[in-house]
A and B are shown apart, each in its own frame.
Chain A
């Protein structure tokens, strides 16, 4: 069974631009979560989607948004990029919400110049 895939793997943007990251979960998984990883803040939860509905949201500004499609694929969008948005963005999928194990994709490395 194929794992979680994320595209693109690497991205370079400039301040003020917006970016869209994509995540395809493991087949049959209906929950998708997004995390931001930086050297200073570590791994921080962005949001979780299940059945096209946002179930949980982390403490990030409204510039960070996401959505989930009927096939469970998910996208996250960051508008008006700031230098501090440079990070590794990880997507994880699980069968459902609750205590299900989350399986991670390879991540998208975003560099904002």
Chain B
């Protein structure tokens, strides 16, 4: 079974600062994918970034990057130059290639950007 742990229930960051959201995972699968989603107060889950377990390079998408440390089973999201619009819930999720291929989510981190 897969498990995602996000240890930061809430974070407060000043605008324009970089922020790191922590995510650790547990799985016995060798092939899996790690995802980060953003959920504003409207409720829609917005896909941010993906990292495959066999990817050697850390994934980047604009201001988002994923700090993937496979041996430590961590997949932290880094947001550079935070903006007020980044205030939202952030979820880390994983999906195994075989077996039950459902997305398993962490409990989320509520990020608040202060002006």
Chain A residues in the interface with B (C-beta under 8 A):
33, 35, 42-43, 45, 48, 55-56, 58, 88, 90, 92, 97-99, 101-107, 109
Contacts and interface: CB of A to CB of B under 8 A. Distances in A.
A25 to B, nearest CB: 14
B91 to A, nearest CB: 7
A63 B69 CA distance: 41
The 4 A-B pairs with the shortest beta carbon distances in the complex, nearest first, are A104-B45, A45-B102, A43-B105, A99-B33
A106 B97 CA distance: 26
B103 A107 contact: no
B27 to A, nearest CB: 13
A30 to B, nearest CB: 14
Q: Interface on chain A toward B: helix, strand, loop, or mixed SS?
A: strand
Given A35-B103, A98-B97, A99-B97, 11 more contacts: A43-B93, A45-B103, A48-B102, A56-B101, A56-B102, A98-B101, A99-B31, A103-B47, A104-B37, A104-B44, A107-B44
Contact of B100 (A43, A56, A107): A56
A43 B107 CA distance: 8
30 contacts: A35-B103, A42-B105, A42-B107, A43-B91, A43-B103, A45-B103, A48-B101, A55-B101, A56-B100, A56-B102, A58-B102, A90-B43, A90-B45, A92-B45, A92-B103, A99-B31, A99-B32, A101-B47, A101-B50, A102-B47, A102-B95, A102-B103, A104-B37, A104-B44, A105-B44, A106-B42, A106-B44, A107-B43, A107-B44, A109-B43
A55 B98 CA distance: 12
B104 interface: yes
B35 interface: yes
Contacts of A35: 103
Interface in B57-103: 91, 93, 95, 97, 100-103
